Structure 1
Amino acid sequence: MDILANMKEVQERVAAACKRSNRDPKEVTILPVSKNHPAEDIQTLYDAGWRDFGENYVQELRNKHDELPDDIHWHMIGHLQRNKVKYIASYIQAIHSVDTIKLLHTIEKEGRKADRVIPVLIEVNVGREESKFGVMPDLEDCMALANEALELPHVKLRGLMTSAPYYDDVEKDRSIFRKLKELLNDMNAANDQLQLDVLSMGMTHDFEIAVEEGSTCVRVGTAIFGKRDYSNKGY
């Protein structure tokens, strides 16, 4: 497994998707997601200059944070329980998975304790899948969270996140990503204090479509690190 070669290929595919959609590749952050992969794999990318990494589980994130260099920018992309916010609040770069007002208030409380502002994204269940978390893709529901965030001094709402349904035909994801971008634009129009500019959408199987539809952050795991080893009990 050549992680650096894989990353180069992902970069090239992002650049090609940007060219097709008349975008600058610099507008798109590639977020390597190392769920169930060892810290050594992250270190490989770190040594090559990468600093932003995503994790799905708090315990795995904590373990890797303790093992790896302090200047890594960690992103929490998985479902986050309120009682676990305290473990990551002092260093987390961004929380992509905010879906309730109660979670927002917990992040505010822990941000205040850590004396820092924590960037967050609202997770939107655009596909309305029962198996997934996230608020429904309705302007009213999303604005309820957004307006609450504006009142919290230790929370900074930056944008929206979604995970598209898994289709064999990735073109079916296009409407999902398009809907999220439209929702972000509608939210900015509804309250000019928001100024949302982050769209976290697209994973290994569909990130090129997501980039073509406006993603600013693609969360890529398997295409970079290979298939996950679920027998790794260390995380």
Structure 2
Amino acid sequence: MDDIAANLRAVEDRIAAACRRADRDPAAVRLLPVSKTMSIEKITAAYDAGYRRFGENKVQEAYDKWGRLRELDGIEWAVIGHLQRNKARLVAEFASEFQALDSLRLAKELDKRLQGEGRRLDVLVQVNSSGEESKFGLPPEEVVGFARELAAFDALRVRGLMTLAVFSSDEDKVAACFHRMVALQKQLRQADAVSVGEGWHELSMGMSGDYELAIEHGATCVRVGQAIFGARLDPNAYWPGVGGGN
């Protein structure tokens, strides 16, 4: 488990280096360790290294880990994967953050469940910046209209945007996704009718294979899993030359 602390330090160093290249303050970039499929022991090792919020793709897995680790002071959970409406009640019960909001029906269900729990939830709007049919998220051209509607949901604290860039070894193609997100963030800030989002300051983009490039393009949150915890037994979605997704 000492490897996890060392891996975290290595990722932190690379984040700092990317910030220097972009003339940014490293304190403006949040590292979210993605613990999907990882053991309780590995999560505890990252907790012992100082991390308190962990990202999970599948809500049931996150809910189970929340139940098993509730005794750890200050531990929090961010759900970063697609959410079906019938699982909104779980997110409303335990999550501190939800990064994959992409429909008004889901927003309404989350708001209702959160109101019942007497809680509020930080949310990010997921954008399909690559235009791939296989990915969830709103098309960029629909986001401003969607954002206007979110003002109706008091329990949702809209913080910003999230995306998964195209899976490619072509850096220009990946960077184009990040450019679209920055342009969309600017558009939202300029839209007078958009009163939610608190400045839309959050840009969650970048994973194990591209987080340094994402930082150079303005990411405020990077979601890193395998570079911290090691390879997971998941045959889906491999980064070119890296060997994994988050």
Length-normalised TM-score, structure 1: 0.94
CA distance in 2, matches of 1:90, 1:137: 30
1:116-127 equivalent positions in 2, closer than 5 A: 116-127=119-130
The unaligned stretches of length 5 or more in structure 2 are 236-246
Secondary structure in structure 1 of the residue aligned to 2:93: coil
Check conservation: 1:76, 1:94, Cα contact below 8 A.
Answer: yes
| 1:14 is aligned to 2:18 | no
Q: Alignment partner for residue 209 of structure 2, among 205, 222, 232?
A: 205
CA distance in 1, matches of 2:97, 2:73: 15
Q: Alignment partner for residue 195 of structure 2, among 183, 193, 199?
A: 193
The equivalent of 1:43 in structure 2 is 44
| 1:222 is aligned to 2:226 | yes
| 1:78 is aligned to 2:100 | no
- Once the two structures are TM-superposed, the CA of residue 118 in structure 1 deviates from its matched residue by 1.1
CA distance in 2, matches of 1:161, 1:230: 22
- Once the two structures are TM-superposed, the CA of residue 90 in structure 1 deviates from its matched residue by 2.3
CA distance in 1, matches of 2:219, 2:138: 19
The equivalent of 2:241 in structure 1 is none
CA distance in 1, matches of 2:161, 2:87: 21
| 1:99 is aligned to 2:102 | yes
Identity of aligned residues (%): 43
- Equivalent pairs counted in the alignment come to 229
1:38-187 equivalent positions in 2, closer than 5 A: 38-68=39-69, 69=72, 71-138=74-141, 141-187=142-188
User: What are the Cα deviations for residues 80-111 of structure 1, in whole angstroms up to 9, with x where unaligned?
Assistant: 00100101212311110011110110111011
CA distance in 1, matches of 2:181, 2:195: 19
Give the superposed CA RMSD: 1.4
Secondary structure in structure 2 of the residue aligned to 1:22: coil
Length-normalised TM-score, structure 2: 0.90
Secondary structure in structure 2 of the residue aligned to 1:5: helix
2:33 maps to a residue whose letter is P
